[in-house]
Structure 1
Amino acid sequence: MAKLGNTSRRACSGLFRKPNETMRLIITTIVGVVLGFFIGISFPTVSITKLHFPSSIISYIEDRNSGLATQALLNHALTSARNQNRNNSKDFNDTLKIYVPTNPRGAERLPPGIVVSESDFYLRRLWGNPDEDLKMKQKYLVTFTVGYDQKKNIDAAVKKFSENFTIVLFHYDGRTSEWDEFEWSKRAIHVSARKQTKWWYAKRFLHPDIVASYEYIFIWDEDLGVEHFNAEEYIKLVKKHGLEISQPGLEPNRGLTWQMTKRRGDREVHKETEERPGWCSDPHLPPCAAFVEIMATVFSRDAWRCVWHMIQNDLVHGWGLDFALRKCVEPAHEKIGVVDSQWIVHQVVPSLGNQGVAENGKAPWEGVRERCRKEWGMFQNRMADAEKAYYKEKGIRPPNTTAV
């Protein structure tokens, strides 16, 4: 009976402990859930890419949840998170990149505030504050293509231009330092390249963005007499008569000149003339109107922007250019003219011709003159071909006035 009693007590004791263990399990689970909840809200954002699961845990999950599906789910979640982070990073980087299509060509990746698209010939100091460099900014530019042998003529010409003018000398003979005997030369810009013409220099050193600070650009030869010329008065007349391309009148009794460019003594400016019969197909076309020569040409800033683009790199003498200048202003017969009351003398010094080379029994100047004529024909053909190609592309019948 004693054994039976002990056995019964152990059995009863076991029966009474089971409810206690069940209750303990339930309470432990509840406490775990609550604790997990509070821990979870303590970390509001957790990136799955920052969680590194031990392989033993992943193996356990695979065993418990048929492996492959769970692994695929985890891989998908990890990949999606990485791609999202990568896309967010790319979008952020793209937002930081600068690209401004309205900037000048080549400067699209710069912030507009740092872009300086134009320049000038103003001389700067090597010391002090940059904003204190310039006592004044010249409004006009005059260039002469020179050899040292013409120094007296150039000295006289430069003195006809006020402090409102920036002076640039293009040296075709390579002699630059000798000009320092003139006080004004120390303030001038000197550019040297041997045996080149003024249009070669103009194409390479007078880009419209370089000379944009100047209202008018004078591109002059070295053999011009300026006794009856004053640059400031000339500018006043150009503005008064609305001339975009102009030149001073030429003394009619010196050298060979077109009728259009000969000085008239009874007026300030003229814009048309009469030539020999048959020379002008239209009274508004060269050489009866819309025409000046290329020895002492003056361009407005806007007109020069067009003319610079028309100058050909390889055609350095500029012959034929004077007949085509009209294409850069509209109406040309009103905006191209000759200033009669400020006139000059063309001295016809063959200095550039002497820079040529004697070949095949020809004197240096003969080879130069032959090249000039050849370039005139080449320029005419290029202009005519370019216009025909344009009208053909547009499906337009070319007008009869396209020839230069």
Structure 2
Amino acid sequence: MGRNIHSGMGRRSNETMRLTVTTFISVVIGFFLGVSFPTMPITKMNLPSTLLPSIDLGYIEDKYSGLSSQAFLHIWNSLRRNKGISFHEPEDAKIWVPTNPRGAERLPPDIVTPESDLYLRRLYGKPSEDLIIKPRYLVTFTVGYEQRDNIDKAVKKFSENFSILLFHYDGRTSEWNEFEWSNRAIHVSVLKQTKWWYAKRFLHPDILAPYDYIFIWDEDLGLEDFDAERYISLVRKHGLEISQPGLSADSGLTWQMTRKRDDTEVHKDAEERDGWCSDPHLPPCAAFVEIMAPVFSRNAWRCVWHMIQNDLVHGWGLDFALRRCVEPAHEKIGVVDAQWVVHQTVPSLGNQGKAENGKAAWEGVRERCNNEWATFQTRMTLADQVYIKENGIHPINSTSS
């Protein structure tokens, strides 16, 4: 009897010892696992697909290396709880929406963002609180640092309703920080390019979608007598889709159409030299502004952007073809006389050329301008002819420019 009691007590002591040892070993292993867990690569974790669907975890770990796996999972789970959203994506889910923008057919329409903007954003805070004001208009200048004083005066003529974008053809951007407004402006720097080169590459209509009007201006314009807000009001009043301010008498003038008049707010036609206008509704007597200081409505710019050629960087000839982007052109293209500028005709961009074959730098630039004009005219004529032929159209009177 005594032996049985002693034997039972011995077995209980052995079991207690094993339990104690097992508990100790488990605590030690758990401690080391707990210490090492925050530094474990997230890509090594076997997480259920319902928790992290279709995510490149390696990318997240690289981009957010300062964020521990534990913290990341805490954020992710908080998002699920707060939004009440299941992140489960069925394996056989197939999305194809033909009406989405090209290339986005595989995305659900509610996530597609086809347009953008040039609004500056903060790196902190709530996105919804980033913008105190959303500018409704955009003004761009293609500039060199030598024209900084003139541009400083010009920019100050535009209110906070305008986004300011400078294209720098001389590579000098940081020097512009001397102007207070420069920190709010957008600066794009590519050496020795023209404004139409910049416009084709950086002013896509889907980027400029928030802007009602787009000013694409040269750097050698005097704006002492110009009021941008008043200009916009006159453009709206007279229904202009493409416009420019009148050029004062002391400007370097080329066409009668763009000369400022003193007896009207806006004019839409002009009389040129005999034989220059075969039709009073066509350029250069109507439906015409010059390319030094054009202003486009959002819709007009969408058309004009598509007409700009990638290799014809000076834009010569565009002004004669702008009429194709609005209808009726002779009513929706005009010159605003009540708001005028001075064209100073500073040949700064011409000096960015290269002297060769016995020609000065500016001579080579001017020669290319003339050649581009002829090339553009030829391309437009041929494009018209191909379209007319393919569609079996027999025009009574051709007004191709």
2:261 pairs with one of 259, 264, 274 = 264
Q: Look up the SS of the partner of 1:260 in the other structure.
A: coil
CA distance in structure 1 between the partners assigned to 2:294 and 2:333 by the alignment: 10
> Does the Cα contact within 8 Å between 2:253 and 2:259 map onto a contact in 1?
no
Q: Identify the residue that residue 123 of structure 2 maps to in structure 1.
A: 126
Paired residues for 1:69-148 under 5 Å: 96-148=93-145
Q: Look up the SS of the partner of 2:294 in the other structure.
A: strand
The share of aligned pairs that are identical, in percent, is 77
CA distance in structure 1 between the partners assigned to 2:329 and 2:398 by the alignment: 13
> Does the Cα contact within 8 Å between 1:380 and 1:403 map onto a contact in 2?
no
More helix by share: 1
1:234-289: CA deviation from partner (whole Å, max 9, x where unpaired): 00000000000000000123213200000000110000011111110110000000
Q: Identify the residue that residue 384 of structure 2 maps to in structure 1.
A: 387
> Does the Cα contact within 8 Å between 1:384 and 1:402 map onto a contact in 2?
no
Q: Identify the residue that residue 294 of structure 2 maps to in structure 1.
A: 297
2:152 pairs with one of 151, 155, 166 = 155
Q: Identify the residue that residue 336 of structure 1 maps to in structure 2.
A: 333
CA distance in structure 2 between the partners assigned to 1:113 and 1:123 by the alignment: 24
Q: Identify the residue that residue 365 of structure 1 maps to in structure 2.
A: 362
1:142-185: CA deviation from partner (whole Å, max 9, x where unpaired): 00000000000000000000000000000000000000000000
Q: Identify the residue that residue 355 of structure 1 maps to in structure 2.
A: 352
CA distance in structure 2 between the partners assigned to 1:368 and 1:400 by the alignment: 36
In structure 2, runs of 5+ residues without a counterpart are 1-89
1:339-384: CA deviation from partner (whole Å, max 9, x where unpaired): 0000000000000000000001100000000000000000000000
In structure 1, runs of 5+ residues without a counterpart are 1-92
Letter in 2 for 1:274: E
Letter in 1 for 2:198: Y
Letter in 2 for 1:354: N
1:60-79: CA deviation from partner (whole Å, max 9, x where unpaired): xxxxxxxxxxxxxxxxxxxx
Q: TM-score under structure 1 normalisation?
A: 0.76
> Does the Cα contact within 8 Å between 2:247 and 2:253 map onto a contact in 1?
no
> Does the Cα contact within 8 Å between 2:250 and 2:342 map onto a contact in 1?
no
| Aligned-residue offset at 1:95 | 7.0
| Aligned-residue offset at 1:396 | 1.0
CA distance in structure 1 between the partners assigned to 2:131 and 2:159 by the alignment: 16
Whichever of the two has the greater Rg, that structure is 1
Q: RMSD of the TM alignment (CA)?
A: 1.3
CA distance in structure 1 between the partners assigned to 2:124 and 2:185 by the alignment: 20
| Aligned-residue offset at 1:94 | 9.8
> Does the Cα contact within 8 Å between 2:226 and 2:339 map onto a contact in 1?
yes
Letter in 1 for 2:314: H
CA distance in structure 2 between the partners assigned to 1:391 and 1:129 by the alignment: 54
CA distance in structure 2 between the partners assigned to 1:399 and 1:370 by the alignment: 36
CA distance in structure 1 between the partners assigned to 2:172 and 2:360 by the alignment: 24
Q: TM-score under structure 2 normalisation?
A: 0.77
1:105 to 1:399, Cα distance in 2 relative to 1, 3 A? farther
Q: Identify the residue that residue 237 of structure 2 maps to in structure 1.
A: 240
CA distance in structure 1 between the partners assigned to 2:104 and 2:337 by the alignment: 45
> Does the Cα contact within 8 Å between 1:388 and 1:398 map onto a contact in 2?
no
Letter in 2 for 1:128: G
CA distance in structure 2 between the partners assigned to 1:99 and 1:167 by the alignment: 39
Letter in 1 for 2:383: A
1:105-133: CA deviation from partner (whole Å, max 9, x where unpaired): 00000001110110111000111111111
Q: Would you say how many aligned residue pairs link Structure 1 and Structure 2?
A: 313
